[in-house]
Structure 1
Amino acid sequence: MIRRARLLCVVMTLLAGATGIISSTQTWLTVTLADGADHVLLVPGASAIPVLAPLSLAVLALGAALSIAGRFLRYAFGALSVAIAVILGTLTWQVAFDPQASHAASTVTEATGISGAAAVSALVGSIGASPWTVVTLGAWILLLAAGLLTLATAHRWTGSGRKYRTDAAAAAPSASRPHDAIDDWDDLSRGEDPTTRPLD
């Protein structure tokens, strides 16, 4: 059950991050300009929320690191996942259910050359959110659940395996075979003097 919890946390985190990255390139808002010609502009997620792409990349990195993290880092990554989920969830909620001209400001300015909050707001005739906003909001809810599950179960996760451990126990040679020259080199790399070892 604990192994499943760890795997579940990693998969949920990676899925949330991947969804955020994909969503950042998709249309989040459709803006109709009040310019007499009713021009329509499509606003991608990365423009509606500038921190969407970088924080989504951070979530992907968290998911990958969580799979090999020690106990202290598990808690740190869990707390960080919760914080990112709350931040991005709040921002995404605003775009999804209360889109404002400010969310499309960069796209409007790029298309028209008009800048300034008041000028952009006056130019925007209507604005509507796409289903991608709701899909991405679901991803942040998933990330929040992953972070909370990590905090609740991290103390019971098993170690990450010998190849990721740096303590003496992981580096020590197996008792089932004799000490050889390779083990002597390993001892030296840890700062130990192999000549002081008792003869077998």
Structure 2
Amino acid sequence: MLRRARMTGVLAFLLAGAVGIISSTQVWATVQRADAGESLSVTGAVIYPLLAPLSLAVLALGAALSIAGPVLRHVIAVLGLGASVALILGTVPLVGAAPLSAIAPAVTEATGLGGEASLREVVAAVTATAWPVIAMLCWVVLGLAAGFVLITARRWPAGGRRYRSASEAAHHGTGPLDAVDSWDELSHGTDPTDSAR
């Protein structure tokens, strides 16, 4: 059960980070122009500049969580919780029609106009796609996973023998080998099934 807890936490972090990175390249809003110009597609990275960096950070936290010790697990969980809160707060305003400030860079690049008054004259309507909602669901999953890690991390089993100190390895060497220990024995050229040992 606790081995599954580690895997669940790691996979949730990795999934949220991966979806965040993918969503940063997808269209989050479509802007219809009032000047009869072609409609604009605004990607997640443009509409929410912190999306890709925070998603990469979540991915890195997920990778670190897979090998972290008890203290680091709690640190990673707190960081993951903070990232989920930041991402949720940044995504909530974009779920409906995105505010003008969020789409302004794309409109300015397409039209050459700047200033809120000028942009309001050019923008007829802003339509959100499903990507902000998908991203929001991932951030909620990330927050739940971070809370789950905080609650259960202390009871997770330790890593394989390669992560133990020499004294710990000697202490654990008297009991039966699990699957990870058996692979480690094979990696060192020792047959774990050899009863003569």
How would you bin the TM-score normalised by the shorter chain? 0.7 to 0.9
Matched-pair contact (CA < 8 Å) for 1:102–1:121: no
Q: For residue 20 of structure 2, what is the amino acid of its counterpart?
A: G
5+ residue gaps in structure 2? 175-197
Q: Secondary structure at the match of 2:157?
A: coil
Q: TM-score of the superposition, structure 1-length normalised?
A: 0.81
For 1:62-106, what per-residue CA distance to the aligned partner results, in whole angstroms no more than 9, with x for missing partners? 111100001111011101111111111121111012511111111
For 1:14-52, what per-residue CA distance to the aligned partner results, in whole angstroms no more than 9, with x for missing partners? 0111000100000000001222x1430000000110010
**Structure 1 residue 53 and structure 2 residue 34: aligned?**
no
* d(CA) in 1 for partners of 2:90, 2:144: 18
Matched residue, 2:133: 134
1:119 to partner: Cα distance: 2.8
* d(CA) in 2 for partners of 1:25, 1:148: 28
Structure 1 consecutive aligned stretches of length 4 or more whose deviation exceeds 6 Å:
173-176
Q: Which has the larger radius of gyration?
A: 1
Matched-pair contact (CA < 8 Å) for 1:9–1:146: yes
Within 5 Å, give how 1:181-200 maps onto structure 2.
none
Q: For residue 76 of structure 2, what is the amino acid of its counterpart?
A: F
Q: Secondary structure at the match of 2:67?
A: coil
5+ residue gaps in structure 1? 177-200
Q: Structure 1 vs Structure 2: percent identity of aligned residues? A: 48
Matched residue, 1:8: 8
Aligned length: 174
Matched-pair contact (CA < 8 Å) for 1:20–1:136: yes
* d(CA) in 2 for partners of 1:80, 1:120: 37
Matched residue, 1:76: 75
Q: TM-score of the superposition, structure 2-length normalised?
A: 0.82
* d(CA) in 1 for partners of 2:173, 2:42: 63
Matched-pair contact (CA < 8 Å) for 1:3–1:157: yes
Matched residue, 1:94: 93
1:164 to partner: Cα distance: 2.8
* d(CA) in 1 for partners of 2:168, 2:97: 54
